């Protein structure tokens, strides 16, 4: 333990002194446009708490999946049940994993059966342009189920033509558990990504395969991913874009959902997403963007993997989505209007057959006054066939101060509709549903300050969120199943501070670091305090992240340190390291996760792996003379 804190301390104090500016990563953010489904807002003019992870930053991180990238984002809580993106839940600012919306280029990846499948993403890291993390209620931007925030994964468009092949493998160099095969715990993967231009059409295609033999008994996993997207500008006023993705994921699920009863459980999940959208500039002031999408999911959950005659659940769920978004620009501000329809249905051997529809109407207004006051306000009106009509307003304002400072404040409301698992699951003795659940609704208030220089960025914020009818899986005693209940109001307050600094030590020698800290203080009512909760054990209380990166010519090093203290568990430190060396067409790297063999759990019954060492090589061949 002393060694862990020594790494943190040395990293934190090793950059004191004078240096020249090295502004590559921060200037990249300044040039970004945050692409919402209606408004397009320059990052510097944003009035919300948004953090962006760029493709340049992703290349340096000690990660193998989108899930692991999000572990280093302040305020984001990653709860993995295994490495390589096997199964993971994402939550923001102390919320639950079902209160966070996951999107791919603005298309909702939320799963109506259960949000455990929302991160079932067919997107390899090499295809990602950036990841946008929006914190706080996002109903007026993305609709229902974005109660605490949203994660939008933006894949590459309009890049140069290239072919990229990425191979990697690793091991913990520890023997597997008795009864689960022989040899060391190990795994690896292969990804291939290509960007090609044919006439006016740009194509991005990627395929990937990963496999591990399991860090514990019955936790082996394998997945395959395929994604394709294309876009074409028909003329100056009209464009078409489309995307498709398929993921086939299967894994041993020992302790994943119903410990200790599910030691022999196994799960196979297949996800298909298709989407087509167009962009039409009707006049110089009016743009219209329709889109249709469909997300289909198959989930074969085998409670006893060696006996399919009992406790097997087959789920087939589908979500058809239609969106029509527009923006109208005037001399007194920009207006965004939109409509969405989402039709969800499920055919399940365990949950039964159910269907519901959701209709939503958006309205937004954005303007800048006196070149200093940024205003963004709007509302989302929602009608659900099971829960009726609600509306969710919100407003943000920012004031630009001298010397690159900005203060901002926001107020907003949002909602989370129960999943089909919440309502109808019947997996005794582990879990049973509750068809009488009501939707969760929340109001959140946040204030913050932002300071940006070419080589520095400082962000601090404080928020208060009050959820009515909040849902938690609980039980009164350990001999009865967990069941979701509406437990009245939940009040949570939090503060978040983040500082990023990049400097240039000499020619071709750069160093940078990011330090962040979040503190959460939930207030539970008497009902919630009197029951046994499935997820309260894993709610964040303290989260501190220190990341250090160093570059010398073609060599780079990234050290990431996370301190996590959950609500009722002891705190722990996890340190990860990556070393990169770039050649003309190759990048070779070595990385180690959990350097100091911390013993910890991100989900109550699932211990995470010990030290894992991985080697990889990434080959990129440019198909034209320009380099990306």
Query: pLDDT band for position 33 (50/70/90)?
Result: low
What is the mean pLDDT of the segment spanning 193-203? 92
Question: 């991180």: which residue's tokens?
Answer: 61
Q: What percent of the chain has pLDDT over 90?
A: 63
**552-569 per-position pLDDT tens digit:** 999 999 999 999 998 778
Domain boundaries, the chain: 2-622
Residue 384 predicted with pLDDT over 90: yes
How confident is the model over 523-542, as a mean pLDDT?
A: 69
pLDDT recorded at residue 379: 95
d(CA 546, CA 517): 9
Query: Is 2-622 in CATH node 3.30.450.20?
Result: no
Buried b (16+ CB within 10 A) or exposed e, 73-99: bbbbbbbbbbbbbbbbbbbbbbbbbbb
Residue 595 has pLDDT above 90, yes or no: yes
Is there a contact between 83 and 143 (Cβ–Cβ < 8 Å)?
no
- What does pTM read for this prediction? 0.90
| Whole-number average pLDDT of the chain | 87
pLDDT band at 87 (very low <50, low <70, confident <90, very high): confident
Say if residues 150 and 138 touch (Cβ distance below 8 Å): yes
| 53 to 29, 33, 134, 152, 407: CA distances (angstroms) | 9, 13, 12, 11, 22
Predicted confidence (pLDDT) at residue 23 exceeds the cutoff of 50: no
Q: Could you report the per-residue pLDDT of 90-101, keeping only the tens digit for each?
A: 899 998 889 999
- The pLDDT tens digits of the residues spanning 127-151 come to 999 999 999 988 888 888 999 999 9
Strands (E), 58-119: 76-80, 88-92, 100-104, 107-108
Confidence of residue 524 (pLDDT cuts 50, 70, 90): low
Least confident stretch, 6-10, 46-50, 427-431? 6-10
Q: 546 pLDDT band (50/70/90 cuts)?
A: very high
Q: How far apart are CA 378 and CA 362, in angstroms?
A: 8
């Amino acid at each position: 333990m002393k060694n862990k804190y020594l790494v943190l301390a040395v990293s934190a104090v090793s950059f004191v002194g004078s240096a020249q500016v090295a502004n590559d990563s921060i200037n990249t953010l300044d040039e970004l446009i945050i692409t919402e489904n209606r408004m397009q807002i320059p990052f510097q003019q944003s009035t919300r708490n948004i953090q962006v992870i760029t493709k340049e930053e992703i290349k340096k991180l000690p990660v193998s999946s989108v899930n692991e990238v999000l572990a280093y984002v302040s305020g984001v809580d990653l709860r993995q049940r295994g490495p390589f993106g096997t199964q993971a839940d994402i939550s923001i600012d102390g919320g639950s994993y079902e209160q966070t919306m996951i999107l791919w280029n603005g298309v909702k990846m939320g799963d109506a059966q259960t949000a455990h499948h929302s991160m079932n993403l067919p997107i390899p890291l090499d295809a990602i342009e950036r990841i946008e993390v929006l914190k706080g209620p996002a109903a007026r931007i993305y609709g229902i189920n974005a109660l605490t925030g949203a994660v939008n994964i933006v894949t590459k468009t309009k890049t140069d033509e290239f072919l990229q092949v990425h191979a990697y493998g690793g091991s913990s160099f520890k023997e597997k558990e008795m009864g689960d095969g022989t040899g060391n715990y190990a795994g690896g993967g292969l990804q291939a990504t290509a960007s090609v231009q044919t006439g006016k059409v740009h194509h991005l295609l990627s395929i990937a395969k990963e496999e591990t033999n399991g860090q514990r008994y019955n936790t082996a996993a394998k997945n395959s991913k395929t994604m394709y997207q294309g876009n074409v500008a028909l003329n100056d006023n009209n464009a078409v874009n489309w995307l498709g993705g398929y993921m086939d994921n299967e894994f041993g699920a020992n302790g994943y959902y119903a410990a200790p009863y599910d030691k022999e459980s196994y799960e196979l999940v297949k996800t298909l997403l298709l989407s087509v959208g167009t962009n039409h500039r009707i006049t110089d002031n009016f743009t219209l963007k329709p889109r249709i999408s469909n997300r289909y999911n198959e989930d074969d959950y085998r409670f006893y993997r060696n006996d399919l005659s009992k406790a097997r659940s087959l789920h087939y769920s589908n979500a058809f989505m239609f969106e029509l978004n527009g923006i109208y620009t005037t001399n007194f501000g920009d207006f965004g209007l939109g409509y969405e329809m989402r039709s969800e249905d499920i055919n399940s051997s365990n949950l039964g057959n159910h269907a519901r529809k959701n209709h939503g109407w958006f309205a937004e207004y954005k303007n800048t006054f006196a070149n200093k006051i940024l205003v963004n306000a709007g509302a989302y009106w929602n009608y659900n066939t099971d829960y009726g009509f609600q509306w969710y307003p919100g407003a943000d304002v920012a004031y630009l101060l001298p010397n690159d400072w900005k203060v901002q404040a926001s107020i907003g409301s949002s909602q989370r509709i129960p999943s089909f698992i919440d309502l109808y699951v019947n997996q005794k003795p582990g879990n049973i549903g509750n068809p009488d659940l009501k939707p969760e609704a929340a109001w959140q208030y946040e204030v913050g300050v932002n300071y940006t220089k070419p080589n520095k960025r400082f962000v601090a914020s404080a928020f208060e969120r009050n959820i009515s009818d909040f849902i938690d899986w609980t039980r009164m005693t350990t001999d009865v199943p967990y069941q979701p209940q509406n437990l009245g109001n939940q009040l949570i307050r939090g503060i978040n501070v983040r500082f990023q600094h990049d400097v240039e030590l000499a020619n071709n020698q750069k160093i940078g670091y990011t330090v962040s800290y979040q503190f959460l203080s939930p207030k539970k009512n008497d009902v919630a305090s009197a029951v046994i909760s499935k997820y309260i054990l894993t709610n964040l209380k303290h989260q501190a992240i220190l990341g250090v990166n160093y570059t010398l010519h073609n060599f780079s090093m990234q050290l990431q340190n996370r301190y996590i203290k959950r609500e009722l568990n002891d705190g722990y430190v996890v340190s990860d390291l990556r070393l990169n060396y770039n050649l003309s067409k190759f990048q070779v790297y070595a990385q180690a996760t959990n350097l100091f063999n911390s013993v910890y759990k991100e989900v109550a019954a699932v211990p995470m792996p010990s030290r894992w060492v991985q080697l990889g090589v990434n080959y990129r061949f440019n198909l034209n003379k320009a380099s990306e």
